[in-house]
Amino acid sequence: MKQDHTDPQGRRAFLKTSAAAGVAAALLPGVAAAVAAEPAAGPAQGQVEKKGYRESRHVLDYYRTARF
């Protein structure tokens, strides 16, 4: 029998790349929808924006996921 001498590293790299592309394609519509749904940040009319630390939505999400 004749042995197949194809490069296994090339095959593995192709499979890794195609898997990563599939994950990226699956996540892209969700990220785009989340960005479109997010209201524009900024102070409301007549309000002054405070400087310094703020517990914004993404900070609270981080705290929630970092709990033990």
Digit-coded pLDDT (tens) for 24-60: 777 777 666 666 666 655 666 667 766 788 888 998 9
pLDDT of residue 60: 92
* Contact predicate 49/42, CB 8 Å: yes
pLDDT of residue 57: 92
pLDDT of residue 53: 85
Report the C-alpha gap between 52 and 32 in whole angstroms. 29
Unique residue bearing structure tokens 């400087």: 51
- Please tell me the pTM assigned to this model: 0.35
